[in-house]
Amino acid sequence: MAGPLSGIKVIDVSAVISGPMCCQILADQGAEVIKVEPRGIGDLTRIGAFRVGTVSAMFAAANRGKQSIALDLSKPAGVDVFRELAADADVVVQNFRPGAVDRMGIGPDELMRRNDRLIYVSISGFGGTGPYKDWRVYDPIIQSVAGLPSVQVHNEVQIPDLVRLLVCDKATATLAAQAVTAALFARERGQAKGQHIEVPMLDSALYWSWPDTFMAHSFYGKDVIPGPCVYSIYRLQQTADGYLVYFTATDSEAFGLFRALGHPEWAEDPRFATPQSRQLTENFQALGALIHEAFISFTTDEVLPKLRAEQVPCAPVNSLDDVFDDPQVVHNDSIHTWTDPRIGEIRQARPPVRWQQTQHDPVWSVDELGQSTEAVLRSHGYDDAALASLRAADVIA
């Protein structure tokens, strides 16, 4: 069945995660994605760990199903080829530092002058202007400026830390992909033809993290009732033999927790009887100490059934290896295993969205660097002589 973006052509000239994952989302919804990479090593993630040939695990996860072209954009002939590809494209996504694409001759003004229906997406660390615009950026740099390490603090070891995944890259990718589909929808309704979309990673990180991370920094005034922030509540709970996670948000869940731990009387204590009283700092700390002491009298396997019986949200702490055998992960078929003739068996997360009428069958393949160069260029009118000329000039691989 054709996906919702079937017939949409995307040129991905981005690298690492923010741009490639944006385009991967579009590909998983049916778009044709042509990935333009520099000759030599290609996308930087190709040379990462857990690699076979020019394909690493990280590259495969963000570039599956795309057609790879190896193209030298430092040469005028390479720029000409890129312009030909973009002439009938719907979307171009790039994440060079501000100004780079204009100097290369593939900036939004140039390409949209030739194709007025083009949706041109510029992802950058901080935006096109400002004191940080020329900084070289990776995910942890954005995390730091956005303040995320300051809340990644263990309650016993008060040292800030990074979120140990590419959280800002992936937040930006998701927001950029949604912006692309919104721009395509606006184009379809006649609100606009093409348009230039700018997506700074810093702004994306703040937008994405704001609802919980900045709870204590949103309201001002004497009538604001204080309390614990989500980041101060989130923690692993120690048991007699390990750890688990639980979370209570309502009275019924909190009182169920008290009963599961063998202390129903806590619900009658004025300090703990209402959400408002439990949120007061001194009461929150006192209750936390009582809960901890109760938990460490149980093993994980003993207390989890008690919590579930009382409808308390809870779960064991899976290792990464455990995830593959988790009953719900298996039931959902969340992880897909496929075989690549060069790499062998590959496991990847299946696209999570289930479409009732436009479900797209993901393309379970990953190109070597430049693997589709000839096929894509032939589909754009390049014949044997033109391809030979480009090879001789070291414009294509």
Q: What residues act catalytically?
A: 169
Could you tell me the sign of the dihedral formed by the alpha carbons of 275, 276, 281, 286, in that order? negative
Q: Give the pair of three-digit tokens for residue 204.
A: 């994306």
Q: Spell out the residues 6+ positions from residue 47 whose beta carbon is closer than 8 angstroms to its own.
A: 41, 56
| 186 conformational bin, left if phi > 0, alpha if psi -120 to 50, beta if neither | alpha
Cross-strand pairs, 348:
336
Q: Give the pair of three-digit tokens for residue 384.
A: 């044997």
Q: Give the pair of three-digit tokens for residue 106.
A: 């593939």
Dmax (CA) for the chain in angstroms is 85
Distances (CA, A) of 134 to 25, 107, 122, 266: 28, 17, 14, 56
- What's 250's DSSP letter? S
Pairwise CA distance, residues 124 & 263, whole Å: 53
DSSP, collapsed to helix, strand or coil, labels residue 56 as: strand
Distances (CA, A) of 184 to 119, 139, 196, 397: 8, 28, 12, 33
Q: Give the pair of three-digit tokens for residue 93.
A: 């996504």
Pairwise CA distance, residues 298 & 295, whole Å: 6
